[in-house]
Each structure stands twice: as C-alpha cells, then as structure tokens.
Amino acid sequence: MSKGLFEKFRISPPPEYGIEPVPSNLKTLRFLDYFVLWSSLGVGLLVFWAGLLLVPGLGLGLALLAILVGHLIGNLFLALVGIIGSENGIPSMVAIRPSFGIRSSYLMSLLNIIQLIGWASFEILVMGQAVDAIMVTTFGYSNYAIWVLIFGFFVFLLAFGGPLTVIRDWLRKFAIWLIYGLGIWITFIVFTQYNLIELLSAPSTGALTFSGGVDLVIAMPISWVPLVADYNRFSKSEKGDFSGTYIGFLIASGWCFALGAITTLATGEPNPVLLIMLIVGPIAAIPSLLIVVTDETDNGFADVYSAAISVQNVFPKIKQWKLIIIISIISTALALVFGLSAQFEEYYINFLLLIGSVFIPLFGIVIIDYFIVRKRKFDINAIYESNEGAPYWYWKGINPRAIIAWICGVAIYWVLVFTVPWLGGSLLSLISAAFLYWLFAKL
C-alpha cells in the first residue's frame, strides 16, 4: 500500500511519529490524559487473572499487601521512565541508547518486540475467549476463531490510528468511564454478597511466598516500562505525566488485582470470564463482559503500536503502518494457537517471571544512569549518531559496563528465584544491576 493507494480510497495516512523527538506542538497530553490512559492499561482480564494467581497460595491479607507493595514499587519505575520520555520526547527503546549504546538498544528492542507480541496475543486471546463464553452461555454457539479475528482487526485499527487519537477520542471520551462504572458496581456486589472477614481468615496453601507474590505483582507495571515513554513523550507537563501515570495505574491495576484475588477466593472459580459472569449474574453478564472486552482493546493497541516503535528503533525507515499490519497478523495468529492450549495459566506465570528477570535490572540501569549519573541530561542529537567517536557509540555501539551490570542483574534474579524463592528476585536484581552500573561509572 502506498500513499497513492491511500488517496485512491480517500483514507488519511496514519500519523508517523517514528523515533525522533516529538515536536513541541504535539506535546499536548496532560494529567487527566495520562490518568485515563494508565488507568485503562491497568485494567483488564489479564490483570484480573494475575490477581487469581495470588490465592489461595497466599492468604487474602498477605495477597492484598503484596498487591499494594508490588504496585508502589513497580509504578515508581513506570513513572520514572515516563519522565525520561516526556523530558526528551523520545520512545523507551531510544531512551536506552545513552546507557547501553546504540547497537545494544537493538538487542533490547528485539526482547521488547518478543514480549509485546506475546502480550498482544494474550490480550486478543482473552477477548476471544470472553465473547465465546458469552455466546456459549447465551446461545449455545461457539466459534473462538472468529472472535479472535474480529478483535485482532479492532486492535489493528486502534494501533493504526495512533496514540493521540486513542487517548483523546476512544479512552477519555468513552471506554474508561464504562470500565470505572463496572468496577464500582462489581466492588459493591463483592462487599455486599461476600463475608470479607471470613475470607481474610481463610487459610493459605503456602504454595506462594509473600516475596514471590510481590514479584508477580511488580511484573505487571514493569511489563509496561519498556513502552511507557512511547506515550508519555507527548506530555505537556512532566509533573502531570508522572502523577497521572503513577496514580492512574496504581488505582486501576491494584483495584483489579484485588477484585481478582477476593472473588476467586470467595467462589473458587479460577477462570476470570466465568468468574465475572458468576458475580454479576446471568442477566448482567453479557453487558459486563462486553464492557471489559471493550476496555481490553486498548491494551492490545499499546502492545502492537509499541512493538512497531521498537522495530523502528532498529529499522527507522520502515513505515509504521506496515509494521502495525504485520505485528497485528502475528499476534492474532498466536492467539488462535494459544487459545487451543490447556496450559495457558502455566505459560502466563512463566511469561510474567521472564519479563521481570529481563526488564527489571535493565530499566534499573536506565533510571540510575539518567537521574543519578547524567543528572537528567541527554545529548539528543548524539542519540541518533551511529559512528565511531559519537558519545553513545562506546565500543562498536555497545556499552560493556551496562551489559555486564545487566547480565549480573538477570543472573541474580534467577539465582534467587531458584535458591531462595521466599526472598524474591525483583528488588535485589534491580538494586544490584543499578549499583554495579553506578560503580562502573564512578570508576
């Protein structure tokens, strides 16, 4: 498809923001925009599902505490990397370049593309399963594949439209208010129909430690860290960007986690789709799930759009809309395949842990480098210079100090997970990688 083909069908070409710094006239988003965006991205069936994974391995009291602690910590990383994007107008994978070197950022982009396609496929998968469950319950008709194809196409359309359109016209005006209304209603049902005191005293199985639960929770906001700057670079105010991101994700994701943990413990139902149908009753089940699915589409949008941005970090000349088409097709195809697997829960837990092990120490280094070592100063022009002697070229485009610190952080994470799982690996791997990088910088 070329520009001429767009003109033939009278379609406006999608906006191309690429990986260059966002010009000041496009930096228009404020606190409410980011509160809406990150509230919306913090809610979803996959977040609800993650809450189910905490109980009964942990007792409800410890599970709720793990949700709070995990979000307080994880959201800080999310909002800080968002500040890097808003102050410099650059996406997340470009923000890695000063710390790791330009060629090293290509490797990180590859890892990010893999995880984002994984997330996009999971999002499309749960949307397809949710609507299929509605159709089976209501009409006795099942066609999972067709729903996956429909939602894969809708996610593509949102990504094609771009972040400013999605935030201002889709989320802020429509989708987020539906999901907040549904959340308040489900919360009311939970507090009036279930005995929370009794649930708090229910015994745990001990299959999950508190630190393991915190690690699982931290993985959720951390999974968004590699793409937060892709959207926060459109911020008009760094203060509004930070507070909107932190508060929006904290409230929405923490709330969704908690509802998942409480309701699955009360009902014993491990499937989030069936659980929502059970809570709200048969009459309200269809509109409730449709609202959840409507909100879920923005998560898929963010995954697909940021995966395209990550590819452009390596191949900046490829048109964004072409990448969005390809990534949408791959994600939809994977959703079709994974939707037929009975081991989805196992895949999901391992996926969350893998994300944590890779990106927690990585962005610990980026944060310490930007805020402490460089004192919030980048040479923006040099970020794009790929030649010997350029400030961020280091050794053949690679900063060995950052790579060594990152590998040590990943190794520490997995050593702790396998040898002392009760301790958890997230915080120690992040602190170790960041401290080692800082020490290299001083030496």
Q: Which two tokens stand for residue 426?
A: 């997230």
In a domain, 20, yes or no: no
Please report which confidence band the pLDDT of residue 285 belongs to, taking 50, 70 and 90 as the band edges: confident
| Nearest one of 223, 227, 274 to 48, comparing CA atoms | 274
| Nearest one of 317, 325, 297 to 40, comparing CA atoms | 297
Contact predicate 275/51, CB 8 Å: no
Cβ-Cβ contacts under 8 Å for 411 (sequence gap 6 or more): none
Taking the C-alpha atoms of residue 16 and residue 332, their distance in angstroms, rounded to an integer, is 23
More confident residue, 40 or 354: 40
Average the pLDDT over each of 233-242, 340-349, 361-370 and give the range with the smallest value.
340-349
Note the Cα 221 to chain centre separation in Å: 6
In a domain, 381, yes or no: no
Number of folded domains that form the chain: 1
In a domain, 311, yes or no: yes
Taking the C-alpha atoms of residue 373 and residue 396, their distance in angstroms, rounded to an integer, is 22
How much of the chain, in percent, has pLDDT values that exceed 90? Answer: 58
Taking the C-alpha atoms of residue 311 and residue 111, their distance in angstroms, rounded to an integer, is 11
Tell me the average pLDDT across 322-346. 83
CATH number of the domain residue 346 falls in:
1.10.4160.10
pTM for the model stands at 0.90
Phi, psi (rounded to 5 degrees) for 380: -60, -45
| Nearest one of 325, 383, 415 to 100, comparing CA atoms | 383
Q: Any idea of the CA torsion for 111, 112, 118, 119, to the nearest 10 degrees?
A: 150
In a domain, 394, yes or no: no
Q: Which two tokens stand for residue 314?
A: 């390596």
In a domain, 414, yes or no: no
Domain that holds residue 110: 27-355
Instruction: Give 398's strand partners.
Output: 395
How confident is the model over 402-412, as pLDDT tens digits? 999 999 999 99
How confident is the model over 224-282, as pLDDT tens digits? 999 999 999 999 988 889 999 999 999 999 999 999 999 999 888 887 878 888 888 87
In a domain, 315, yes or no: yes
How much of the chain, in percent, has pLDDT values that exceed 70? Answer: 93
Taking the C-alpha atoms of residue 371 and residue 141, their distance in angstroms, rounded to an integer, is 55
pLDDT given at position 241? 92
* Rounded (to 5) percent helix, strand, coil in the chain: 75, 0, 20
In a domain, 402, yes or no: no
More confident residue, 209 or 368: 368
Q: Which two tokens stand for residue 36?
A: 């809406």
In a domain, 393, yes or no: no
The answer to whether the bond into 270 is cis (omega within 30° of 0) is no
